[in-house]
């Protein structure tokens, strides 16, 4: 398998996950990220939606607030040590309030991009580079 084929497979998989994330978003799900730059990166990837920042409020209070809304929840914290800890805590709290948060998208993004990036903020740049490497678009598209 050539490098280009590897990049193409990786890009396809990431785009499938982004499409899945977009579907959640269209259904009104709340997407929990760590910071404003994560939101910007996702919006540049055409993910619109209800974003909540995990770093703005105490996690228990945030979980309680989300539970009261009764929406689906996608946890999309970074895949570094801090992001892992946030994901675990949020998941525990949300389950305590009777919600079942979606963690698969985060886990799969982590597996696919682990050696390249470690956060949501870098996702747009990473996808853009993969698109250029695979010929899915040109460098001009990003200037």
- Residue that has been written with the tokens 């309680």 in this structure: 64
Give the 3-state secondary structure of residue 32.
Answer: strand
Residue ranges of domains in the chain, CATH in brackets: 3-142 (3.40.1360.10)
What pTM does this model have?
A: 0.91
Taking only the tens of pLDDT, the chain with its 143 residues reads 788 899 999 999 999 999 999 999 999 999 999 999 999 999 999 999 899 999 888 999 999 999 999 889 999 999 999 999 999 999 999 999 999 999 999 999 999 998 899 999 999 999 999 999 988 765 444 44
* Other CB atoms within 10 A of residue 30 CB: 21
Q: What is the pLDDT of residue 24?
A: 96
pLDDT of residue 143: 45
Instruction: Indicate the burial class of 130 (C-beta count within 10 angstroms; 0-12, 13-18, 19 or more).
Output: buried
């Amino acid at each position: 398998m050539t490098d280009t084929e590897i990049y193409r497979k990786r890009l396809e998989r990431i785009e499938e996950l982004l499409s899945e994330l977009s579907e959640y978003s269209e259904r009104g799900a709340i997407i929990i990220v760590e910071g404003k730059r994560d939101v910007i990166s996702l919006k540049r990837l055409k993910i619109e939606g209800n974003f909540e920042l995990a770093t703005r409020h105490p996690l228990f209070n945030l979980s309680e607030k989300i539970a009261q809304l009764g929406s689906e929840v996608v946890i999309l914290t970074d895949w570094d040590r801090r992001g892992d800890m946030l994901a675990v805590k949020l998941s525990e709290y949300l389950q305590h309030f009777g919600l079942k948060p979606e963690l698969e998208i985060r886990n799969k993004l982590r597996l696919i991009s682990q050696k390249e990036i470690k956060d949501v903020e870098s996702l747009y740049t990473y996808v853009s580079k993969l698109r250029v490497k695979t010929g899915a678009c040109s460098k001009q598209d990003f200037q």
